[in-house]
Amino acid sequence: MVEQRKPIPVAEAVQRVIDKQVFSKTEKVHIEKALGRRLAEDLVATHAVPPFDRSPYDGFAVRSADTKKASRENPVDFNVTETIGAGAVQSMPVGAFEAARIMTGAMMPAECDAVVMLELTSEPEPGVMRLKRAFNKGDNISFKGEDAVEGTVLVEKGTLINPGTIALLATFGYEYITVAVKPVVGLLATGSELLEVGEPLEPGKIRNSNALMAAAQIERAGAEVKMLGKLSDDLEACYESVRKAMQEVDILITTGGVSVGDFDFLPEVYKRLEAEVLFNKVAMRPGSVTTVAHKDGQFLFGLSGNPSACYVGFELFTRPVIQQMLGNPKPHLPLEDAVLGADFTKPNPFTRFVRGTLAIRNGQLEASPSGFNKSSAVSSLAATNCLIVLPGGTRGFTAGDHVKVALLETAESSEMPW
């Protein structure tokens, strides 16, 4: 009467997914639109930084040899040749006992090898700078290339572009940046109990929270969402919708309909598509019915219809595929050590991914369950910024236990952590 499915371990399920080849496309975007995208090419220093020896202060550029005898008792005077503003270059040489007034960031005159800060000088008469101490060769100069040497790879391809990366891209004249194209992820919901968000509640029905939640997860993972509505309760129509959707998107997610109930059509749809089902049961809670199928290089993620199960299934299986398509060599959630902040007494034979809230106490990660914890739970998801990974077994866990947590709200990623 009931199909028996064999659960496989989480690590094996994730491995089966990421073993499949994915394609990556690149495009050029303007630097003002590049934040949060992933570099598809190494960021190379196209010139030295600074590009020339420059003054880090407002002051005077001098030849240090001329300052050697300067002291409080024996001040030395310099004739000021000109003022070199930032962006300007010297218009005349600086000779013996001459100085050029120089602004922060301005290029050093060729003859000078030190900068004297303005506040260490006086002006006994117009056009004359008086100095009361000696300076050494190289004092107060920002040297060409001290920050970056031409040709250096400063940021590797696959890296997420943050504000600092933008500063570098601008410095080196990358006006249009080659980034990974965001894969388009389609979302199809199943479930005759589902109302749209704008509809009033009816007896026996609930609003479709999974599709909008998964859309936000897709966006957080760096991909583009295509909302494709709801699958019909008719197998034939269902199959046609999925087949058509696959032509419009790079990845297709369905929510619900992967269980073994009478109205769960997805298993039959995969069969008709002749898609390879990578697994349809994972030894995990929530989300054990998560199904992943693959057909001609395209992924079909059959996520659970339960909100928490759907959420976890996405982060464990769909996110890494999106990240791989974005060229991220570390496509997984970062898995870190943490201390459990509260008891979690309910044992389970399967690996449990408890929706958790992370805190940092004295520099140490501490994770506590976010709240109500059933696969159907929705209220705890808003406070969730990590998944607490509790290995399967017969015992519960108590506050203070050392556990692993997968971080959700971070720009970091990880190599295969399971």
Residues 67-86 close enough to bind a copy of itself by CB under 8 A: 83, 85-86
Question: Can you tell me which of 11, 110, 153, 227 binds a copy of itself, judged by CB under 8 A?
Answer: 227
Binding mask 96-125 for a copy of itself (x = CB under 8 A): -----x-xxxxx----------xx-xxx--
Question: Strand 364-369 relative to strand 335-340: parallel, antiparallel, unpaired?
Answer: parallel
Cα–Cα dist 24/39, whole Å: 12
Instruction: Rule CB under 8 A: say whether 130 interacts with a copy of itself.
Output: no
Question: Can you tell me which of 126, 173, 274, 394 binds a copy of itself, judged by CB under 8 A?
Answer: 173
AA letter at 349: P
β partners of residue 406: 335, 387
Question: Do residues 54 and 105 make contact, with C-beta atoms less than 8 angstroms apart?
Answer: yes
Structure tokens at 82: 């000109």
**Smallest distance, a copy of itself to C-beta of residue 177, A:** 10
Binding mask 364-403 for a copy of itself (x = CB under 8 A): xx------x-xxxxxxxxxxxx----------------x-
Instruction: Rule CB under 8 A: say whether 45 interacts with a copy of itself.
Output: yes
Site for a copy of itself in 196-225 (CB under 8 A): 197-201, 203-217, 219-220, 225
Contacting residues for 87 by C-beta, under 8 A, at least 6 apart? 105, 106
Question: Can you tell me which of 79, 91, 133, 175 binds a copy of itself, judged by CB under 8 A?
Answer: 175
For a copy of itself, the closer CB: 65 or 154: 154
Asked whether the CA dihedral 318, 324, 325, 326 is positive or negative, the reply is positive
Cα–Cα dist 359/366, whole Å: 5
Contacting residues for 176 by C-beta, under 8 A, at least 6 apart? 28, 29, 30, 31
For a copy of itself, the closer CB: 56 or 396: 56
Contacting residues for 271 by C-beta, under 8 A, at least 6 apart? none
Instruction: Rule CB under 8 A: say whether 274 interacts with a copy of itself.
Output: no
Question: Do residues 185 and 314 make contact, with C-beta atoms less than 8 angstroms apart?
Answer: no
**Smallest distance, a copy of itself to C-beta of residue 77, A:** 15
Contacting residues for 148 by C-beta, under 8 A, at least 6 apart? 45, 48, 49, 154
Site for a copy of itself in 316-375 (CB under 8 A): 334, 336-339, 355, 360, 362-365, 372, 374-375
Stretch touching a copy of itself by CB under 8 A, among 9-17, 63-71, 260-268, 390-398:
260-268
